[in-house]
Structure 1
Amino acid sequence: MNSAVETSRDTSGNLDDGSKEGSQQSATEIKLESEPEPVQEPEPEQIPDPEPVPCHEQKPEVEHEGERKVTPEPVPDEIAEQAEEPAEENKATQENDTDASMVQLFSSHSGNTIKGIEMQFTELLTNQLKNINFVKCNQLEDIDSKEMLIVLCIISSRVGTDAAYAIKDINNPANTVLMLIHNKKNHALPKLTSSSVLTDQKFRKLGGVFDLAFFDGRGIYKCEMNDIALKRVCTFIKQNRIDRI
């Protein structure tokens, strides 16, 4: 009866040693099957070494204080461009000199009075015009008929007589302006313009007939007559420049 009880305990109670080993082996196999396989990390991509930079593309090394700086020589193309700049400036200067208009001055008078009038008259025109070159003609033979001419005439007797004498030997009247100078104060100046009085054909062929006021000790003074005269002379010179282009 005791042996039967022992057998019953073995059957209902703890398992024998062989059963225990089988259970442990099964648990180990289940554990191995449930563990994930280790992930294999990708090998790092190998970056090729950079190619050596040519000598002419390498950046210059930073110069330390105290080292001598060497200025690189300019490229031949840059030298050629730099050499062309002064040539262009010289060309522009020559063109400006060439564009200067020549205006001839002639008068049958002599003495300090006419010299003073000529000097002041040319200064007034130069202040209003650019690139103008005045040339004094002392004799009729010095006059170039192809260039502009201003004849200065001081009225001493009658306007018609003095004006006719001043232009009697002028070969190119269309290229000539006659300036009739009145040696009078402002209140004594004529009311009518000389161009309206001188109706003869020889005066109409001129490039213009203008009145200019002058008085001893004052020279060419400020007045309406002189303002009109200077404006019209400047217009004549500018128009003559356009016709030559």
Structure 2
Amino acid sequence: MTRSLLDPSAVPAELRPYLAELVQRVGILCGPHLLSVFAVGSIALGDYRHGRSDIDVNVVVEPSLPGEVVRELAESLADGALRCPAAGLELVVYDSAFVGRPSDQAGYLLDLNTGPLLPERVSFDPAAAPAFWYVLDRSIAYQSERVLYGRPVRHVLAAPSQRHLLAALMASVREHTTGIGHLPDNQVLNGCRSVAFCRTGRWAAKREAAQIISESEPDFRPLLETAVRSFERPRTAALELPATEVRTFLAWVRERVEEAAESRL
């Protein structure tokens, strides 16, 4: 059976041929074991920036999928086999038994990072990466329900519990505070998104989150405006942000997230 994008208009035009081919390859390899393919990250939140954003995709399969197929997926979707038009592809494969219940674990069968601006990474061991990334992505997927192929997201994926989600948020803030491997604008905008989520209970796109925080925290407004301008440029042309101001803002973000966690747990 031919697999095609459920709703091509739901993804940016620049990505439609690539995502259609990705869905086709996943469908051919997984066959009847494939349950759902859905977008996460900037595509799910409607804030994809070509030349800046990654393509974030989750795949859910039946637990009976043979292990060798997971390795074949990694080979078939690597940038050398399928050229990624974006900054990179971050693809995670789960089995339905795991994602059908709330969890604070990474729990993946495959975590693939590939593409022109991403360090190549293929992992079959969910203990090899910090779990918070996956918890937050599953929460975004559950909210956004941006299906590329197969069953609705909420038919295959359980939302993380509030306790797991707040713990993941705090881990994310700590990660971005280090600055290692992160562009300063991304540190700042992810901080905005974390605080906006604590205030509203919903995930906002990075630029929307920056607007929310700018309106209530005018002292940070110049920094946030610069971060947004930088985010709108390609990664290779990102603007420099004042390091001291970034650290001050991230310390403020950490305090807000910790306050939210203490009040709700």
Same fold (TM over 0.5): no
- Structure with the higher fraction of residues in helix conformation: 2
Bigger Rg over Cα: 1
Higher RCO (CA < 8 A, seq sep 6+): 2
TM-score of the aligned structures, taking structure 1 as reference length: 0.30
